Amino acid sequence: MDGNGRWARRRRHPVSFGHRAGVRAIKRVLEGCEELGVEVLSVYAFSTENWSRPRAEVRALMRLFHETMQREIDEMHRRGVRIVVSGRRDELSQRMRDRIDEAMARTALNTNGILNVCLNYGGRAELVDSVRRLVEEGVPADKIDEAAIAAHLYNPELPDPDLIIRTAGESRVSNFLLWQSAYSEMLVTDTLWPDFGVDELKAAIAEYNARVRRFGGRPDELSVGSVS
């Protein structure tokens, strides 16, 4: 979800204005996913590295996350969307953790798509935490394989993303879903995240459908089930 700050600065507004516009973009894209049959939408809301941003911006972001989760939970539940949060929740405030627990518990049985919010998330941190859990469980080193690591990720029940979309012209991986994105298709668009909508999503999926995925082997028929 790149480009919130640039979007705000071009309009001579504070960065927080761009982040709020970014939340509206999430709602549009989630509606587009429902329309197009995309089952999982993962959004990179806040990385483990984002704590290094100006303190005022971090505080504003945390307030926005809390307010948004509180405001939107009823609507998400009504639409049948399941909310999950991936990341190091123990480093968030108790107030935020309580709100996350409420949102996840309330929507746990919903089946009309999944919104995966990556909050205080880092791909390397997720792998470290997965291995730590294995060690804590006393799993012998010779029993640690790909399946064991995958089973101890933050939300192991989620499928690997088929398509990762980077907005604002950014072409880096940026520590996002490192394990899960091994064979994901990547698409970079110059559109800033607050301007990204259903039309852009449809165009991205159309481009995805024109590609051939080999997964290291033969071409496979394509269908998008998970977008990040």
Provide the angle, in degrees to the nearest 10, between the axes of the packed helices 15-36 and 55-78: 30
Using the 8-state DSSP alphabet, how is residue 159 labeled? P
Among this protein's residues, is 120 annotated catalytic?
no
**Are the CB atoms for 46 and 65 separated by under 8 Å?**
yes
pLDDT above 80: residue 226? no
pLDDT above 60: residue 222? no
Least confident span in 86-90, 130-134, 222-226: 222-226
pLDDT for 21 equals 97
Structurally, the chain folds into a number of domains equal to 2
Nearest alpha carbon to residue 165 among 116, 200, 115, 194: 200
Same domain flag for 82 and 112? yes
- ∠ at Cα 38 (32, 44), nearest 5°? 80
pLDDT for 1 equals 85
Same domain flag for 47 and 34? no
Using the 8-state DSSP alphabet, how is residue 84 labeled? E
Catalytic residue of the set 4, 50, 98, 199: 50
Binned at pLDDT 50, 70 and 90, residue 212 comes out as: confident
pLDDT for 198 equals 96
Q: Among the residues of 37-144, which ranges form H helices?
A: 55-78, 94-106, 123-136
Across the range 207-225, mean pLDDT stands at 71
Among this protein's residues, is 50 annotated catalytic?
yes
Which of 121, 146, 181 is the C-terminal boundary of a domain? 121
- Has residue 189 been placed in a domain? yes
Q: Are strands 114-121 and 163-166 parallel, antiparallel or unpaired?
A: unpaired
pLDDT for 138 equals 98
> Helix-strand-coil percent breakdown of the chain, rounded to 5?
50, 15, 35
Same domain flag for 34 and 53? no
CATH code where residue 164 lies: 3.40.1180.10
Catalytic residue of the set 2, 116, 120, 162: 2
User: 220: how many CB neighbours lie within 10 A of its CB?
Assistant: 11
Tell me the average pLDDT of the chain. Answer: 94
pLDDT above 70: residue 220? no
pLDDT above 90: residue 161? yes
Same domain flag for 66 and 102? yes
Least confident span in 30-39, 54-63, 172-181, 205-214: 205-214
pLDDT for 97 equals 97
Q: What is the pLDDT of residues 139-149, one digit of tens each?
A: 999 999 999 99
The residue range of the domain holding 46 is 42-121
If one compares 91 and 212, the residue with the highest pLDDT of the two is 91
pLDDT above 90: residue 94? yes
Binned at pLDDT 50, 70 and 90, residue 218 comes out as: low
pLDDT for 163 equals 97
pLDDT for 227 equals 67
- Has residue 136 been placed in a domain? no
pLDDT for 3 equals 93
Same domain flag for 1 and 55? no
Least confident span in 96-110, 177-191, 207-221: 207-221
The two three-digit tokens of residue 216, written as one number: 């290291």
Single-letter amino acid code for the residue at 159: P
pLDDT for 219 equals 57
